[in-house]
Structure 1
Amino acid sequence: MKKISILLFLAASITVGMSSCDKENTLSAEDFQEYEPKGLTKYIITATPVGTTGIADYLLTADDISSGAVSTSGNGKEQDGSYRYYLTHKGRFFSLLYGQGNPGDVTTYRLTQAGKLVLTRFFQAETVQVLTKVNDELLLMKVPRSGNENASCYRIDALKSRVNGEKQINIVKLAANGERAHFTWATQVGNKVFAPYMSIKGCCGDAFGTAYPDSSWIAVFSYPDLNLEKVIRDNRTSFIGNYFNNGLAVTENGDVYAYSPAAAKNSSKPTSKNPSAIIRVPHGTTEFDQTYFFNVQEKSGGHHIASQLYLGNNKMLLMMYDTPGALNGNLKMAMVDVVNQSFEWVKGAPQEIISTSAPYNNNTLSDDGKTGYIGLNTPSGNWIYKIDMATATVTRGLKVEGGTITSITKMIY
């Protein structure tokens, strides 16, 4: 699985050279002219050029993604490195490099008053596996799969690009079962951070194998101190989320819904006996609701959840593996209402979906709360699809030519 290369600010705010940048479109942080946003929208689409290896994404921009076309040929900003991941926070677009075990970098972009995407920061990087937004910060977590027993957590000021705090968490002690806790993601819930984890061996040629395939865990941390307050446990499904895959969604009333792919393995063989399902932590509590259990695998006819995108108003878009019982392969989309536990296959979707844009950073919900967007890559081409939440229907929007869509994010300027 891919990791994320992300900034480790070794000092307060150290700027390094930007030799590979286009000078015309690069501004230092000191040169950026602050302005009062007018509420205009710009979409940033990241796409990997088709037919290339060892080349990272291009950053493409569009004012409207409901129609038209955009191409990677002669457009956008080419990123360094083979793999990148993205996050928007506090008017910044963070482009994070996977350094293949070596130091990488993070480049930070902002929109000018004219709507031009410009690079304003460039820093060296450290490899982490979890990144999320908490208050005015980025929370980064480096989680070793073997060897070192401590996960390293970094609190980064998103506005000032500096370390606000650092914490070590003993993940072997956290698991407390002879294995280690491997965080799949982290999500702000009120004034706390919920961090689901897998229990993994971390050794023996079977690092991600486990002897505990039918349990769920969420570690609850205070913030900003990151002190462990408790571990929420359940045994009706399996671990929450997946490697670099956000398993939690917080609804408008503060309830937390957690999905499990029921995909635990031991010696590379699937061992989860419990179904792929969604469970709930009610608002203001730190316990799973034993009266709530959404057996998605049963309602779908045997399909496992691959990932989720919370759209709003209790609606969640699920990416399911297209073959019952499968734990990999092509995808199929479903719309669920997590409150009333309704399930329906999405209408208008391509017959064969090879991959989708990343769900963890998708913030494209329309202002009226009725429409979202997702990038779908298919054998016949790659499009951004408009999601009608009320009818569980998708329709083609912007076509991305010459590139595989990896993410879509929205910025206001």
Structure 2
Amino acid sequence: MPFRPSANIAELRESATIAVSQRAKALKAQGREVIDLGAGEPDFGTPAPILEAAKRALDEGATRYTAVEGILPLRQAIATQGNASFRGTEAIAATDVVVSCGSKQSLYNACVTLFGPGDEVLVPTPSWTSYYEMVQLARATAVEVHGDPARGFKVDVERLERHATPRTRGLMLNSPSNPTGAVYAPEELRAILDLAATRGWWVISDEIYQRIAYDAPAPGALDVAPRRDNLIVVNGVAKAWAMTGWRVGWTISPPAVAKAMTALQSHTTSNTATVAQYAALAALTLGEPVDATVRAMVAEFKARRDAALPILQASRALTVLPPEGAFYFYLKVPGAGRVPDAGGAFCQELLEKAGVAIVPGSAFRTPDWVRVSYAADKAQVIEAARRIVATADAMA
């Protein structure tokens, strides 16, 4: 029987980051030497105290179903962490927390629960590729709001208002940003949250990279929001604790939204893996043994950034956005404005001739740009930066 995709998924795009990784692996399998800077995944191992806590949990029988929304101690720990930041009057309770199979599912749950046909959702652009597709899966419309490259592509109140209509229902935020590494200052976040509250918009704040910031702490929405009745905060253990494969993310939301997302999740994945939840609990509660490892990882990311940044900035053909957080460089490449999908053409040239895999900016709705991850060995990052510059200058 011929396959015809349903209308639900007919317009979905393949994840560009996964496609790049697959192509790099294919070349490696052919014996090619490839530096893969496409993945958004820390190259560190999960901290040993977390592994030990997971092993103990298994020995103690953490192999059965849990509540759909997650084990109570983990949700209490997440609520406690949220309350340490939040200065509003609505204290966060464990019942406001839903633990999911990674922050990707948390984001999806929020989009499908909050948005539907006829709704428009403002998406600061460039943004992580899955935001646009998740909004589409909710049968809403993602509205691209392009930020100013001179400000790391961050959006402001004026840009958001220019793109708003009576159908605007919500806003996606991400700081530190994937793909640009930009970090919103407290006053910038506060202005956006005030606008959303005034206009009656939901705000989904993706803070998965919050702990990976270099020159100043990255504020979260709860740090500046006076209220949270229109706010869904998304976070998880994947990036800061090098736990991508454990698949634990969560939302903090108003009680009615948390209840609705729990009901949705009960009909999809149910609870995330039990042992992974205990590992996440250890990440949040063990304190200094784990926190010291996280600080060391962030310091190494900063060292890589600081080593590669001047190499990239020396190119006569690249525009480089210095990242303030996350672990990505965002680069404007030769041919921008002249060559259709200049970023895609550059990525192909770089991979096939120089053996470096990066992600085209078209994945993030900015086709003149490319994303370069520095979640790799420092020596490889430096060598890749040199190859990127050589390729760019040769193409200019």
Q: Is the structural similarity TM-score above 0.5?
A: no
Query: Higher relative CO (CA 8 A, sep ≥ 6), structure 1 or 2?
Result: 2
TM-score normalised by length of structure 2: 0.26
Greater percentage in strand: 1
Q: Which has the higher helix share?
A: 2
